[in-house]
């Protein structure tokens, strides 16, 4: 995995890596189409990436976590979207390298553990309402466990963290199926790893997932402003999409 040049040594004991694709129409959230247009899906994805950047920063600040944040980029960290994210959100960019998701995650763990991080967590961008405490707990659980998983309701996982690379966890996995989380736990236990689980959470892969998110966001808007979870940007995008989806169904 290629990183932007840097001479500094990691001052933190943990790394939090946000796995993200550039919001290119036709290349992101394709399972939401044709219910959404490719442009709508890309815009929503871009907002989710921003949400994850903002919420991870808020978690690190609120809980004073010993964490450096990275943004693992596809198709390339040279994309202008990622350069802007680097400048605005203080993250270090990495290129995702590998033929499939498993290889790309395995390479990320290898790269950052080689740099001296003793705890490394990878999180996706499809969980814009993930509580800040989940990020804190993931980092803290790695002080006492070899592996931490954040299971998704669909059988995958939204977060994985390790104290040292375990490449077998990423080999021969049926990615994008409901077996991923269970098989990962089976493999980890077969290797004798001490596994901790975060609470399950909904990610956004299908149009049904999106409808659930729209409903949850509408409920969120009834809470006092200081207690709301969704960013104004994503709340506005979801409200607009809800209107468009209703129109298209009539």
Return averaged pLDDT per consecutive 10 residues of the chain, 250 residues in all: 50 91 97 97 98 98 97 98 98 96 96 96 96 98 97 96 96 94 97 97 95 97 94 97 90
Strands (E), 48-206: 67-74, 92-95, 119-123, 147-151, 157-162, 195-197
Answer yes or no: CATH 3.90.550.10 is held by domain 14-202: yes
Count of alpha carbons within 13 angstroms of residue 112, beta-carbon side: 35
Q: Is 105 in a helix, a strand, or coil?
A: helix
Cβ neighbours around 128 below 10 Å, total: 26
DSSP letter for 122, please: E
Count of all residues that appear for the chain in the document:
250
List the end-to-end C-alpha distance of the chain, in Å, as a whole number: 48
Q: Which among 79, 104, 139, 78 is positioned nearest to 19, based on CA atoms? A: 104
Kindly report the number of other CB atoms within 10 A of residue 200's CB atom: 15
Confidence (pLDDT) at 1: 54
The reported pLDDT for the residue numbered 12 is 82
Distance between CA atoms of residues 245 and 250, nearest Å = 9
Q: In what order do the strands lie in the sheet with 119-123?
A: 92-95, 67-74, 14-21, 119-123, 157-162, 147-151, 195-197
Going by C-alpha positions, the residue among 10, 22, 17 that lies closest to residue 94 is 17
Report pLDDT for 7. Answer: 46
Residue 10 has a pLDDT of 47
Residues whose CB falls within 8 Å of the CB of residue 104, separated by 6 or more in sequence, listed in order? 19, 72, 74, 96, 97, 98
CA atoms of 127 and 106, how far apart (whole Å): 21
Q: What would you report as the CA-atom Rg of the chain, rounded to the nearest whole angstrom?
A: 18
Tokens at residue 5, please?
A: 């040049």
> CB–CB of 110/165 below 8 Å?
yes
């Amino acid at each position: 995995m290629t990183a932007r040049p840097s001479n500094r040594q990691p001052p933190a004991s943990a790394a939090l890596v946000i796995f993200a694709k550039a919001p290119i129409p036709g290349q992101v959230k394709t399972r939401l189409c044709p219910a959404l247009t490719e442009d709508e899906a890309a815009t929503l994805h871009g907002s989710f990436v921003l949400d994850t950047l903002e919420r991870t920063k808020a978690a690190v600040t609120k809980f004073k976590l010993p964490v450096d944040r990275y943004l693992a980029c596809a198709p390339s960290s040279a994309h202008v979207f990622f350069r802007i994210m680097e400048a605005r959100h203080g993250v270090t960019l990495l290129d995702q390298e590998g033929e499939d998701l498993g290889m790309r995650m395995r390479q990320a763990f290898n790269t950052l553990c080689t740099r001296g991080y003793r705890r490394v967590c990878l999180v996706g961008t499809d969980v814009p309402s993930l509580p800040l405490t989940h990020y804190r707990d993931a980092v803290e659980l790695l002080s006492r466990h070899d592996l931490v998983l954040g299971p998704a309701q669909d059988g995958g996982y939204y977060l994985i963290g390790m104290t040292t690379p375990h490449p077998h966890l990423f080999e021969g996995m049926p990615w994008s199926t409901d077996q991923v989380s269970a098989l990962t736990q089976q493999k980890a236990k077969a290797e004798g790893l001490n596994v901790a689980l975060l609470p399950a959470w909904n990610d956004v892969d299908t149009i049904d997932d999106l409808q659930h998110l729209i409903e949850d966001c509408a409920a969120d808007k009834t809470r006092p402003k200081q207690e709301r979870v969704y960013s104004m940007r994503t709340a506005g995008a979801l409200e607009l999409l809800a209107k468009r989806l209703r129109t298209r169904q009539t």
